[in-house]
């Protein structure tokens, strides 16, 4: 049987890192935004050091690391801002299904830092996850590190997560490929695929399986439409297959899928 609070933590931690992309000739996504409303807030090369953004994602279900955290529709609003590579993020989980005792089930805060070294981008962060809508849920704190190496429009990415509060030392890792292609001046598409694995402590808390085992393999596809003024609309969908029979038994399904529509703004 799955641990519902850990499932939610996975989904919100994951969604806090994902922001719909804007077309190349528009302002970049919040974590890379270079436009500023204050002309004085620029570096020596005339580039803004401040960025801010917001995303609202309406989805058939919340999925993170190949694991579903709802049986019905969800709304995931995220607000983030920062400067000099630092980003503070705030994400809520609004669930609307029979498992939701109230709309606000989870609220998360995060602080991350990213830096590009030519084609290699490093990002590290810490995320705190609270559960005001779940009586028996435990708070989580995750340390996350990711690397992305760009090869033209294709990037090889890897992410590593360590839990330090609820189950200290629980570990999750993932490796994948992402590709973004510009279709027109206002349309772009992103394709991604990933495979994950986790420690025995992570699986014990997640699936009640006391063993190291692989997680899900799957991917997502999205279409981003730049509607101007720093805003974009992004329909998206994905599917994931749990590679271990014990995970499939805990999830009571072989394939997890979702579809949704996100609206993002960057300033």
The mean pLDDT of 136-149, rounded to a whole number, is: 94
On whether the pTM is more than 0.85, the answer is no
Size of the chain in residues: 267
pLDDT in tens, 206-254: 888 999 999 999 999 999 999 999 999 999 999 999 999 999 999 999 9
Tokens at residue 188, please? 């772009």
Q: How far apart are CA 131 and CA 137, in angstroms?
A: 6
Is residue 175 a contact partner of residue 163, using CB atoms and an 8 Å limit?
A: no
Q: Would you say residue 109 has pLDDT above 90? A: yes
Beta bridge partners of 95: 74
pLDDT in tens, 145-169: 999 999 999 999 999 999 999 999 9
pLDDT of residue 5: 52
pLDDT of residue 31: 39
pLDDT of residue 19: 45
pLDDT of residue 193: 97
Give strand ranges (E) for the chain.
50-59, 63-64, 67-68, 73-83, 86-96, 104-117, 120-130, 140-151, 154-163, 171-182, 187-198, 213-228, 231-242, 255-266
Q: Which domains are delineated in the chain? A: 4-266 (2.40.160.40)
Stronger pLDDT, 43 or 120, i.e. the higher one: 120
Contacts of 115 (CB under 8 A, 6+ apart): 85, 121, 122
pLDDT of residue 30: 38
pLDDT of residue 11: 59
Q: Would you say residue 29 has pLDDT above 60? A: no
pLDDT-above-90 percentage for the chain: 64
User: If you ran DSSP here, which 8-state letter would residue 32 be given?
Assistant: G
pLDDT in tens, 183-197: 999 999 999 999 999
Is residue 154 a contact partner of residue 148, using CB atoms and an 8 Å limit?
A: no
pLDDT in tens, 47-96: 568 999 999 999 998 898 999 877 788 999 999 999 999 999 999 999 87
pLDDT of residue 98: 65
pLDDT of residue 25: 43
Question: What is the sign, positive or negative, of the torsion defined by CA atoms of 69, 72, 80, 220?
Answer: positive
């Amino acid at each position: 049987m799955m641990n519902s609070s850990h499932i939610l933590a996975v989904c919100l931690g994951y969604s806090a890192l994902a922001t719909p992309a804007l077309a190349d000739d528009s302002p970049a996504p919040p974590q890379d935004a270079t436009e500023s409303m204050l002309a004085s807030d620029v570096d020596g090369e005339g580039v803004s050091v401040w960025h801010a953004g917001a995303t609202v994602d309406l989805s058939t279900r919340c999925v993170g690391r190949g694991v579903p955290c709802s049986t019905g529709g969800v709304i995931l609003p995220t607000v983030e801002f920062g400067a000099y590579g630092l980003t503070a993020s705030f994400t809520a989980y609004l669930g609307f299904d029979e498992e939701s005792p109230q709309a606000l089930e989870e609220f998360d805060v995060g602080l991350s830092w990213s830096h590009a070294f030519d084609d290699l981008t490093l990002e590290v962060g810490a995320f705190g996850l609270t559960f005001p809508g779940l009586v028996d849920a435990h708070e989580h704190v995750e340390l996350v590190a990711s690397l992305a190496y760009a090869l033209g429009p294709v990037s090889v990415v890897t992410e590593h997560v360590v839990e330090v509060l609820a189950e200290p030392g629980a570990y999750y890792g993932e490796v994948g490929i992402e590709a973004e292609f510009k279709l027109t001046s206002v349309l772009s598409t992103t394709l991604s695929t990933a495979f994950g694995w986790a420690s025995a402590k992570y699986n014990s808390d997640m699936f009640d399986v006391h063993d190291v085992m692989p997680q899900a393999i799957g991917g997502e596809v999205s279409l981003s439409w730049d509607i101007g003024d720093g805003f974009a609309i992004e329909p998206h969908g994905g599917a994931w297959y749990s590679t271990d029979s014990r995970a499939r038994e805990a999830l009571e399904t072989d394939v997890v899928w979702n579809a949704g529509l996100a609206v993002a703004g960057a300033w």
